[in-house]
C-alpha cells in the first residue's frame, strides 16, 4: 500500500493524458536515464541536486519520478512541499511504471526545447483536424507546455529554421502523413503511445482528416465539430484551446464510455 505521500502507477496512468494530470518531474540520475532514455508521458527531467534552484518554479500538483521511488524522489518531493507545492512520489519509481506497462516516450524523439524548457512546433494556419489533434496529443502526452505557431503554409519551413520550431503536418516533414496514416497516427507511433484508447481515437481522426467516413461511425461527428470550430474562431490559438476540450471528450469516450448508450425516454410501462 502506498503512503499518502505516494501515488501508484495504476492511479497515475488513469489521469495521465487528462486535464487533471499532475506535473511529472523525472529526477533519475544520468546513469539510470542512459540505461533507459525514455520518459513518462509529459514529464520533464530535472537535476535533483539543483532542486533549491528550480523548486520555486514548480506549482502543484506534481509527481516526482526516480528510478525506484526511494530517496531521490522522496527528498525532492519533501523539498517541494516545503516551498508550498503539492508533491507526491511515484510508488516504485520508473521501474514500477515500466513493469506495469505504462507508456514511455523515447527521449530521442523529443524536439529541442527553448530557453523556458518548452518544445516549439510550427504548422499551417487555419487548422481543421490533424493540426488540432496533434497539438492536443503533444500537450496531453508529450509536453504540456508546448508552444504552437500557426503561419502561412509557404512560411512553415523558414519559420521553423529561424525560430527553432519543429514543423508538423506539412509536406517533407518528419512529423507528417505517411501513406494512409495521418500525422496523428505517426505521432502515436513515434512517441510510443499505442494504447487502445489512443489507437481508437486515431482511427476516428484519420477518417475525418482523410475523407474516409467508413473507418468509424464517429468520423462524421468529429468532422462536423472540427469544421464548426474552424468557423467559430478567427484566431487559431483560440480555436486550439476550444479543440482541446473536444479531444479531451473524444479521448475519454474512447477510454471509458464506448459501451455506454443513451436510452431516454424509457419505454412506458404497458405500451
Q: Which pTM does this prediction carry?
A: 0.94
Q: Do 97 and 118 share a domain, yes or no?
A: no
CATH (domain of 65): 3.40.250.10
Nearest to 29 by CA among 5, 50, 58, 7: 50
| Domain's final residue, options 50, 74, 106 | 106
Q: Do 144 and 187 share a domain, yes or no?
A: yes
Nearest to 212 by CA among 252, 186, 182, 177: 182
Angle between helices 130-141 and 236-252 (to 10 degrees): 70
Q: Do 157 and 239 share a domain, yes or no?
A: yes
Residue 255 is predicted with a pLDDT of: 97
Cross-strand pairs, 64: 25, 89
Q: Do 77 and 152 share a domain, yes or no?
A: no
For residue 39, the surrounding DSSP H or E stretch is: strand 38-39
Rounded Cα distance, 36 and 94, in Å = 10
Band of residue 5 on the pLDDT scale cut at 50, 70, 90: very high
Task: Tell whether the model's pLDDT for residue 270 goes beyond 60.
Answer: no
Decide if 23 is inside a domain.
yes
| Domain's final residue, options 56, 87, 106 | 106
Rounded Cα distance, 36 and 66, in Å = 12
Q: Do 102 and 12 share a domain, yes or no?
A: yes
Band of residue 3 on the pLDDT scale cut at 50, 70, 90: low
Amino acid at each position: 500500500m502506498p503512503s499518502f505521500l505516494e501515488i501508484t502507477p495504476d492511479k497515475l496512468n488513469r489521469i495521465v493524458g487528462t486535464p487533471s494530470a499532475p506535473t511529472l518531474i523525472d529526477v533519475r540520475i544520468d546513469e539510470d536515464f542512459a540505461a533507459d532514455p525514455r520518459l513518462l508521458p509529459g514529464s520533464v527531467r530535472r537535476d535533483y541536486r539543483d532542486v533549491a534552484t528550480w523548486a520555486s518554479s514548480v506549482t502543484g500538483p506534481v509527481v516526482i519520478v526516480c528510478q525506484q521511488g526511494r530517496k531521490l524522489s522522496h527528498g525532492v518531493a519533501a523539498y517541494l512541499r516545503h516551498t508550498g507545492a503539492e508533491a507526491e512520489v511515484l510508488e516504485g519509481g520508473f521501474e514500477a511504471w515500466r513493469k506495469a506497462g505504462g507508456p514511455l516516450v523515447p527521449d530521442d524523439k523529443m524536439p529541442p526545447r527553448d530557453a523556458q524548457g518548452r518544445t516549439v512546433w510550427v504548422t499551417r494556419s487555419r487548422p481543421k483536424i490533424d493540426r488540432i489533434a496533434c497539438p492536443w496529443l503533444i500537450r496531453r502526452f508529450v509536453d504540456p507546455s508546448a508552444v504552437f505557431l500557426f503561419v502561412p503554409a509557404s512560411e512553415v519551413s523558414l519559420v521553423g529554421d529561424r525560430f527553432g520550431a519543429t514543423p508538423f503536418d506539412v509536406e517533407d516533414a518528419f512529423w507528417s502523413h505517411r501513406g494512409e496514416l495521418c500525422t496523428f497516427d505517426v505521432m502515436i507511433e513515434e512517441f510510443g503511445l499505442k494504447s487502445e484508447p489512443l489507437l481508437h481515437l486515431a482511427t476516428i481522426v484519420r477518417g475525418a482528416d482523410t475523407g474516409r467516413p467508413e473507418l468509424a461511425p464517429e468520423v462524421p461527428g468529429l468532422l462536423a465539430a472540427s469544421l464548426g470550430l474552424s468557423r467559430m474562431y478567427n484566431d487559431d490559438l483560440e480555436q486550439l484551446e476550444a479543440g482541446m476540450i473536444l479531444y479531451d471528450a473524444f479521448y475519454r469516450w474512447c477510454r471509458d464510455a464506448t459501451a455506454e448508450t443513451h436510452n431516454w425516454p424509457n419505454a412506458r410501462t404497458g405500451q
